[in-house]
Structure 1
């Protein structure tokens, strides 16, 4: 057949067609490039971030489990674990939590094990302690206290009782480190000193602490060494491992109880002997003897009442940031399913329109080839190869850019929150294969759909120009008053808009998608910015939180009231509680019990987020924050499982759900607190309002107050605000991604569709130019239509943007944060103006193109 000899010429014809229609070929390639880049790039981000964490945990030997005991851990506990050394590696750690009264920080001072078998530290600068007087600090210490530097002196200055538990309290700073136990940069977990949360840790040489028992034993089970963290297999094996630990250590609780009682009796024995001697020397009814015997009896009763110690078992989920990091990667995965769909859907629509136009332009060529004896498959292959080549090039470039750019960009944004190394890019061939199939379906599939009719037509029909689409009476024409007032040009514009319905739909949907993404980008910025305004200005009306060792003394009250910054305060109980429920990551919440509930509204606004209805504490339940209610799927009337310290889990009834954006809060009245926990609240804190807000004056307030006996900690809200919103700055990068991506998409869509519009109507445009229309009038002939379509797209995009913004917020929130769901009116205006700007840019490019077209050549007949 002739076709066999013409193969080389046939490929030349395809290349010639690509060269003749460079703009169309590039537009298809670009739309595929954008879709594939976003799909493969964002799809790879979650797995890349998880792989980085997996490598880090393995390299730093992160413990899989930890064991603590209410009575400390002894050599007997270690001996049990040693018997199972073939199944695990273990490491005992001694530490003491203190409240630094000289710098208002809660610090965990730990001894570095002689050999770091587990939880290996990463040196940021300096070296580990080599001498007894050397100390290394958590890198977070340098963030919170910028004055701390290598070579400086570090002093431990806490309560007299805790000071005695150190053999040395002055050290030289020789290094700064990070620990794999703290994946999150800012959070260091809870403690039973100070404000209830740790600020940072410090590490010293063994022998610095006086305590004889270990505070914690870290364990790594060998059967988890090669198992991917966070996976279902990991969770199943971890559950089995925890059950083994409980079984092995359970018998030791009774032995430890006996040991503690024996030790106490041994200490009491000399005193009892002295009392016995005294009994032989004094009369039986002597007051001195009676008092001494009463003390001995009381001591014996206390020894008998020594409880069996409780062992506390925790997995990696207890490490601050461990579970949250996984949840953040899952949010990226969630984004990767919906976000690229906009690009893929629009790409499919644009490709369909483009291939339809290409087939219409090459009808005569198709008829000629048919007349020469080429088969339908040979003729159709030109279009399939054209579209396939554009798809293939777009996919290759999209994968190369997307997989290397987006994971690094997004991981860098999260990098400011976590102590994890940079990610290594990996190519997920499954996702790349799917992207290629979708890209080929968009182009080759579109070509096959369009060719379906024309390939079955006769050569004589194909070699004749296709009849223009017939015009129809518009429904607007029935509105006679309106229609008569329109100029000729406006009537033509409206007729053309509704005559080409496919182009109208494609343009409106394309612009709407771009508008929706821009609204989402600006809306995210609004939602993040509003958190600061609403939380710190509208909901919280206090400036500092003071924590004491117990109930407020007269001296403490005087010390607070005489501060120059002091304006007003509220006495309350404040402590950290853990909310626990199977299947949901444990959350830390601040439990607050005001001594005078009626005064709470002056310091904290508790209200419904939507209606702003005020809530007041009653004796029938707690007021909790909205995010906590959402995480645990509770509503008013339900119970929330809460654990105070190491005590048993309690069920707290939810009386109301209040607006809140940062961290978790549970408010109870004194009566409700007693009902839940079985004892009266000890009011260990104050919410304080200041007369002014200078940084230096506030720091001086904290420093002066901590000199008073029993004052443990002062938390300044200005510092909290700064710390909380450092990580939110990273969301600006996400906004940039949305706006740039939407802009690129808008340009490609508008250029492509406008180019098709001009190509389809070149004879019409040439005619009006020959009739005397100026260049700018010819451009306006097209621009009016584009402007109307752009405005329609903007309107539809507003609704799509609201939906996409809402979806993104739900997937991007962290467990301890709730975004403000509203979008500012200005964001809609900015998005609309940017979309209009892209439309104007496209029309400027088209204006230049129209000026270069030879209108007389365009008017020549094909007959």
Structure 2
């Protein structure tokens, strides 16, 4: 009977405090939406990728050779730690009957490792049949039984398409990372031919890649050592690449980690704010119902039943918010992210998986915050004896504030200001809790604007300040320095460049790209970590800050670097770190020709950096340069920048989402807390109305107090925002990207301005509440 009555009372309480109830539901829903939505995205992407990898049985390691025959392969099969070896030929092929090119790989019908996922058709059975990637076929309107012509190793082959397939190994397919970072399935795809076609392509049964399955507990380093030292030098061992180091694997895993990290930070801001609103609302409700609580206790209703009555109110708020948040989070957020991933990766259909666990966890977290806040808010009232509960609560003891103690200052303040300051002084706890919503609002805004500013600044610095050239000409083969050049009226300056892979012998071996130019070049201007400019030194190398910090490298350190190229005999040289630079898009090492020659290697040039006149047509000139037989490709810097800006557009969506959520936080907290404040001060406001104060003067009492609370929240919010911005920034970085943490004045001004705007909107929403106060009812004595 008592329980039924209390449940009915709960419904009445919800109706009486509908505004506060809705505020908690909205904030709770946002937190749950983020936790469940991002959790589902991370889990869905991870599950799709793991299933794809498991279905494909990806090799643990790929060993690269210049060319190895079956005798060499049989010897490698006997190496300790190797369970299985699958040889293949992997080469580039150009399409002869249309624009485009392929990454050609040989396969077997019963492929044991790196299995191909057949989308349609059948596997090729002879030398004149092939599979092509499904994404390439869709972009180029190719179908089964169509014929294509390709050129590979100076041989032209006519092939019939027998099937469409995709490869987990190449889910993120980029032809040339120096030219593009966004897959272009229109011009580049995968092509698979039967293993029997190796002789027609290579002239003999020669392979250049070995897919290796390692035994349990095997050491990758030991296998790599055996590959290098126990195989015939004629095979030209190049390197071993672990599955975890492949570009496709690294890129996808980076996205999984990013979303997972963000789901562990942002939702709890909303849970905390929801708990604050619940605490303040329940505290006020319990205070207003002291008499009812006293009567129930006097009639024998237990403390646990009374406590449960108020907890049920909080539980209803949390459950409704949890349901709404889960529905929106499951239906909306995954779609936004999955569409982006589908444009980058050729993955199986990503499904919304594992949502029950995330939905349950998010609601449980929310209930934990809500019930804890409710429990704390009613604890004091339940400890009071019934007789005292049934009496009105005594007025708060007035304490002089800090300003009141300043001689002469308090007397000079206007009456309205005194009322505002006195009310803040008497309700310090509530003011502090009220500011938490503002802190969360400012923090989210600062984080959103920071992400956008950092990505924009990094792109600008990389392509305007560091890379001064306009075109990068990549040679088809290395040449002696000075042997190749390009002159044209539209070319302002030309610099030779050499690019080689190096392994720094530190920790487990640090692989990086080494770019070498003349020290007086005009194509590259490196930036030091403190913002100064670095000229290529003749007494050492320049190491990127991220690589140096991750591996404990400092200026002045001496390192051993192995040049990973058979052209230079994989020679190791001793180098010194002369400077540390900031590199944003890729973590590359730079050095001058003079220094590398002093270290013991006279490098060949394998490219040219061209700086053009402002009026030059970059695309036309690039096409003209590519017609030379000594040119492999031309990278247009402007196109690379466009692709980076295209990728960064996703941060704009994040900014808009954070602005919306910040507005919800600020409006919910300020409106909710102010509504309670107005209810508590209704007698003061009614008195001022009777005394003839104008509406604007009365409104200003509430407005000024809200602005003071907002200001206090902003000061703490900027510090909190800097913290979560730093955490989110670290989560969004990939292995090769570096985002320097910096909080600019523009970010802070925008965040503060929008927060004050939200506060103004909340104040305008409060006008009607103030005007609707019943003067007579409010002025009646409560004694």
Fold-level similarity (TM above 0.5): yes
Identify the match of residue 672 of structure 1 among 592, 595, 601. 595
Residue equivalent to 2:184:
none
| Separation (CA, whole Å) in 1 of partners of 2:364 and 2:266 | 18
**1:238/1:334 CA distance change after superposition, 3 Å:** farther
Indicate if the aligned counterparts of 2:37 and 2:330 stay in contact, CA closer than 8 A. Answer: yes
Per the TM alignment, residue 403 of structure 1 is displaced from its structure 2 partner at its CA by: 4.7
Per the TM alignment, residue 654 of structure 1 is displaced from its structure 2 partner at its CA by: 1.9
Once the two structures are superposed, residues 138-171 of structure 1 have per-residue CA deviations (whole angstroms, 9 ceiling, x without a partner) of: 678799xx8x66489976568xxx41xx2x2567
| Separation (CA, whole Å) in 2 of partners of 1:250 and 1:537 | 41
Indicate if the aligned counterparts of 1:384 and 1:444 stay in contact, CA closer than 8 A. Answer: yes
Residue equivalent to 2:47:
51
3-state secondary structure, aligned to 1:469 = coil
1:417 aligned onto 2:344: yes
| Separation (CA, whole Å) in 2 of partners of 1:83 and 1:490 | 84
Residue equivalent to 1:38:
34
**1:252/1:500 CA distance change after superposition, 3 Å:** closer
Once the two structures are superposed, residues 48-95 of structure 1 have per-residue CA deviations (whole angstroms, 9 ceiling, x without a partner) of: 3221211121234433333443441426636985999xx967643223
| Separation (CA, whole Å) in 2 of partners of 1:97 and 1:651 | 35
Per the TM alignment, residue 570 of structure 1 is displaced from its structure 2 partner at its CA by: 1.3
Structure 2 unaligned regions, length at least 5: 180-186
1:94 aligned onto 2:97: no
Residue equivalent to 2:556:
637
| Separation (CA, whole Å) in 2 of partners of 1:127 and 1:716 | 39
For 1:457-856, what aligned pairs fall within 5 Å after superposition?
Answer: 457-480=384-407, 482-548=409-475, 549-551=477-479, 556-557=484-485, 560-561=486-487, 563-577=488-502, 587-589=511-513, 591-594=514-517, 596-597=518-519, 599-600=520-521, 602-619=522-539, 621-638=540-557, 639=559, 642-645=562-565, 647=570, 652-674=575-597, 676=599, 678-692=600-614, 697-856=617-776
3-state secondary structure, aligned to 1:808 = helix
Indicate if the aligned counterparts of 2:445 and 2:659 stay in contact, CA closer than 8 A. Answer: yes
1:20 aligned onto 2:12: no
Per the TM alignment, residue 605 of structure 1 is displaced from its structure 2 partner at its CA by: 1.2
3-state secondary structure, aligned to 1:374 = coil
**1:216/1:451 CA distance change after superposition, 3 Å:** same
| Separation (CA, whole Å) in 1 of partners of 2:121 and 2:756 | 55
Per the TM alignment, residue 517 of structure 1 is displaced from its structure 2 partner at its CA by: 0.8
Indicate if the aligned counterparts of 1:36 and 1:402 stay in contact, CA closer than 8 A. Answer: yes
| Separation (CA, whole Å) in 2 of partners of 1:390 and 1:778 | 33
| Separation (CA, whole Å) in 1 of partners of 2:22 and 2:329 | 18
**1:640/1:337 CA distance change after superposition, 3 Å:** farther
For 1:230-629, what aligned pairs fall within 5 Å after superposition?
Answer: 237=216, 239=218, 253=231, 257=232, 307=234, 310=237, 312-427=239-354, 435-480=362-407, 482-548=409-475, 549-551=477-479, 556-557=484-485, 560-561=486-487, 563-577=488-502, 587-589=511-513, 591-594=514-517, 596-597=518-519, 599-600=520-521, 602-619=522-539, 621-629=540-548
Indicate if the aligned counterparts of 2:536 and 2:591 stay in contact, CA closer than 8 A. Answer: no
| Separation (CA, whole Å) in 2 of partners of 1:173 and 1:718 | 36
Indicate if the aligned counterparts of 2:472 and 2:634 stay in contact, CA closer than 8 A. Answer: yes
**1:42/1:554 CA distance change after superposition, 3 Å:** closer
1:215 aligned onto 2:134: no
Per the TM alignment, residue 543 of structure 1 is displaced from its structure 2 partner at its CA by: 0.8
> Under a length normalisation based on structure 2, what TM-score does the superposition of the two structures give?
0.86
Per the TM alignment, residue 649 of structure 1 is displaced from its structure 2 partner at its CA by: 6.3
3-state secondary structure, aligned to 1:390 = helix
**1:244/1:626 CA distance change after superposition, 3 Å:** closer
| Separation (CA, whole Å) in 2 of partners of 1:410 and 1:728 | 14
| Separation (CA, whole Å) in 1 of partners of 2:251 and 2:516 | 28
| Separation (CA, whole Å) in 2 of partners of 1:122 and 1:578 | 34
Indicate if the aligned counterparts of 2:502 and 2:562 stay in contact, CA closer than 8 A. Answer: yes
| Separation (CA, whole Å) in 2 of partners of 1:218 and 1:666 | 30
Length, aligned pairs only: 764
- Give the stretch that moved more between structures: 705-714 or 743-752: 705-714
Once the two structures are superposed, residues 183-225 of structure 1 have per-residue CA deviations (whole angstroms, 9 ceiling, x without a partner) of: 324366799xxxxxxx95552644351432122233457x8xx
Per the TM alignment, residue 251 of structure 1 is displaced from its structure 2 partner at its CA by: 11
- Give the stretch that moved more between structures: 326-335 or 96-105: 96-105
**1:12/1:709 CA distance change after superposition, 3 Å:** closer
**1:239/1:718 CA distance change after superposition, 3 Å:** farther
Once the two structures are superposed, residues 397-445 of structure 1 have per-residue CA deviations (whole angstroms, 9 ceiling, x without a partner) of: 4344435544544454444433323433334777666544543343332
3-state secondary structure, aligned to 1:471 = coil
Per the TM alignment, residue 320 of structure 1 is displaced from its structure 2 partner at its CA by: 1.5
Indicate if the aligned counterparts of 1:105 and 1:713 stay in contact, CA closer than 8 A. Answer: no
Residue equivalent to 1:283:
none
Once the two structures are superposed, residues 525-580 of structure 1 have per-residue CA deviations (whole angstroms, 9 ceiling, x without a partner) of: 000111221111122211112233233588843xx11x232111112322344568
Per the TM alignment, residue 836 of structure 1 is displaced from its structure 2 partner at its CA by: 2.0
Once the two structures are superposed, residues 267-293 of structure 1 have per-residue CA deviations (whole angstroms, 9 ceiling, x without a partner) of: xxxxxxxxxxxxxxxxxxxxxxxxxxx
| Separation (CA, whole Å) in 2 of partners of 1:605 and 1:96 | 35
Residue equivalent to 1:277:
none
Larger Rg: 1
| Separation (CA, whole Å) in 2 of partners of 1:566 and 1:135 | 43
Indicate if the aligned counterparts of 1:102 and 1:703 stay in contact, CA closer than 8 A. Answer: no
3-state secondary structure, aligned to 1:623 = strand
Q: When you count strand as a share of all residues, which structure comes out higher?
A: 2
| Separation (CA, whole Å) in 2 of partners of 1:725 and 1:136 | 34
Per the TM alignment, residue 129 of structure 1 is displaced from its structure 2 partner at its CA by: 7.0
For 1:12-161, what aligned pairs fall within 5 Å after superposition?
Answer: 12-74=8-70, 77=73, 91-97=86-92, 108-121=103-116, 150=142
- Give the stretch that moved more between structures: 394-403 or 499-508: 394-403
> Under a length normalisation based on structure 1, what TM-score does the superposition of the two structures give?
0.79
3-state secondary structure, aligned to 2:712 = helix
**1:246/1:669 CA distance change after superposition, 3 Å:** closer
Structure 1 unaligned regions, length at least 5: 192-198, 224-236, 258-305
| Separation (CA, whole Å) in 2 of partners of 1:126 and 1:691 | 51
Output the aligned Cα RMSD. 3.9
3-state secondary structure, aligned to 1:681 = coil
